[in-house]
Amino acid sequence: MDSSGMLRRLLLLGLLSVVCYGQASQEVSAEDFGLDKPQPAADRDLVEVLEALLGRMNNRISSTEKRGSIPLCGMGDRCAMKFGPRIGKLCDCTRGASCNSFLLKCI
């Protein structure tokens, strides 16, 4: 009887230790990466130049997306219009569909 009580206590203690170990904090701090050191002036200048360059590139990309974006149309919607011998595009069909050149609808 005494050994079974001891065994239960050991199992309970082992289970508690496993549960507590699983809930331990896994947070990463700046100290782990050594970010407490001050950055040299050259690094700061490089970061500032890169941020300025990325800002300019972001402005260019967003302006071209506004001009060249074609809206998406769903299944069965008109996706093109016939202008004599040519077909003009009204919208792009969603993924998995294509614009039928005879019906001018997404199928």
Which amino acid, 105?
K
Res 105: pLDDT: 92
Rounded to the nearest integer, the mean pLDDT of the chain is 77
Residues paired with 81 in a beta bridge: 88
Structure token pair of residue 47: 């970061």
- The predicted structure's pLDDT at residue 64: 46
Quick one: pLDDT at residue 31? 60
Half-sphere exposure of 55 (CA within 13 A, CB side): 6
Closest CA to 88 of 80, 96, 79: 80
Number of H helices, E strands in the chain: 3, 4
Residue 17's CB: how many other CB atoms inside 10 A? Answer: 10
89 has a pLDDT exceeding 80: yes
12-48 pLDDT, tens digit per residue, is 878 777 776 655 555 665 566 665 566 677 788 888 8
Mean pLDDT value across residues 60-87: 77
- CA gap 107, 104 in Å, rounded: 9
Q: Is the pTM of this model over 0.85?
A: no
Q: Is the pLDDT of residue 66 over 80?
A: no
Instruction: State mean pLDDT over 61-75.
Output: 69
21, amino acid identity: Y
Distance from the Cα of residue 97 to its chain's centroid: 25
Question: CA–CA separation, 91 vs 87, rounded Å?
Answer: 12
What confidence category does residue 1 fall into, taking pLDDT thresholds of 50, 70 and 90?
low
